[in-house]
Amino acid sequence: MIITFDFIFRVLTLLIFISWWGYWRITEKEADQQKPKTIAGSGLFTRNKVIRMITGAIQVVLILQLLGVSVLPIPGANVFMQIIGFLLVVTGVSVSVSARKTLGANWAHAAEFQIKKKQELVTSGVYTYIRHPIYAGLMLAFIGGELVVQSYYALAILPVIAGGLYQAKLEEKILVAHFGQAYKKYMKGSKMFIPYLW
């Protein structure tokens, strides 16, 4: 078997995503033990299921692509594109993990739209600059992953961004209702996804 740059980038990217997924599951259980979740309403439960199904489908497609399944391949793609993609994956996963660590036990699964018991407003670390660094990191990682597999499926980021924006706005309504002026002040001094820009 000849080991190519394509093979190396795919394997490394796959390992990063698997490690990220494992970290997420472990820290979710730890956070729930320290600060239990509240019970979401039935409408939120339905929305939660839809969001999880969509994000799950996106993840499955990307994993299959990394394993060699060709989906909307970009003709004439090159190693330079894969290098850029891999750097975006590393950056995106790093940002999301850093944000997750900063939140600690205050983190709850985004699709659940809830305030945890004894939840604190976190404005330190990467949250100093952006209010939704986990979303921002995941979007970067998704684009990067699609560049690694050299696929036009990267254009699916457009509805992903729209969905992330919608979800972020819903979360912010809940956070404003819970934290009041403190969160409104935080919103004025930070951006949503991109430091200093947006």
pLDDT tens digits along 148-182: 999 988 887 788 788 888 888 988 998 998 899 99
DSSP assignment of 39-79 equals PPPHHHHHHHHHHHHHHHHHHHHHHHHHTT--SSBPTT--H
pLDDT tens digits along 88-124: 999 999 999 999 999 988 887 665 667 777 788 999 9
Inter-CA distances, 2 with 5, 7, 48, 151, 158, Å: 10, 9, 44, 22, 36
CA-based torsion, 14, 18, 19, 24: positive or negative: positive
pLDDT tens digits along 16-33: 999 999 998 888 887 777
3-state secondary structure of 117: coil
Better-predicted residue by pLDDT, 33 or 36: 33
| Structural domains present in the chain | 5-188 (1.20.120.1630)
**Can you give the pTM of this predicted structure?**
0.84
- pLDDT class for 193, splitting at 50, 70, 90? very high
